[in-house]
Amino acid sequence: MFIEQLVVGPYQTNCYIFGNVETKSAWIVDPGAEADTIVNKLKEREVEPVAVILTHGHWDHITALAQLKETFPHLDIIVGEPDKIYLGPGSYERIKDHWNDASFLNRYKKELSHIPPATKLLTGRQFITDCHILSIPTPGHTPGGYCFFFEEGNMLFTGDTLFAGSVGRTDLYGGDYSAIIESVKGLMDFDNDVQVLPGHGPITSIGIERNSNPYCNQ
């Protein structure tokens, strides 16, 4: 297997591509922007993307979706059911209602106006069959937030739920501080050596966060 980390867009979002070199298949986590960069990396690896897996539906994690879906029409788009509001027809207007960064909204108006709808909605803890990855509901940053554990790589994609030394903000639409604290505490059930791949910032581990992140021990 392989994994690539791409830092994309004005909010420096971590987009991850992981896959199987033998089957030439790949999965994309949080394509926040710079679709060309993502496509070029897929071509460089000579892999075909199967699905986009979204840790949540915020604009800085979905902006490349339209171009990716156009390039790979078969692509599944997987998101937690409550966060489907940020995808599909009318997405730009709904995003405008929840985010006031005029510079970002103007810069990416075309991309955000053509966000495709989700093809699969997550409604609980379950395995995503195609890549044998465990989806874990982690509300707090958004109502439909999810983390994803890929056992083969011992990797936990945490989006904007758990960061190195911190947690995601909860002052945006649907945010809930108590919920995010419960979510990150639940992630501490994983072993110390599990890698934590967050939506922003450096990669860390469960052990490091268990021992040093104040939000994991409240």
Q: What is residue 108's predicted lDDT score, i.e. its pLDDT?
A: 96
Please state, in angstroms and as integers, the Cα–Cα distance from residue 48 to each residue in 39, 40, 105, following that order.
10, 11, 30
Separation CA 104–CA 205 (nearest Å): 31
Which domain covers residue 207, as residue numbers? Answer: 2-217
How many domains does one find in the chain?
Answer: 1
Place of tokens 């791409």: 6
Burial of 46 (0-12, 13-18, 19+ CB in 10 A): exposed
Q: What is residue 46's predicted lDDT score, i.e. its pLDDT?
A: 95
Structure token pair of residue 140: 């707090």
Question: Of 150-154, 179-183, 191-195, 196-200, where does mean pLDDT reach its minimum?
Answer: 150-154
CATH number for 43:
3.60.15.10
Query: Model-level pTM?
Result: 0.97
**Averaged pLDDT for residues 178-201:** 98
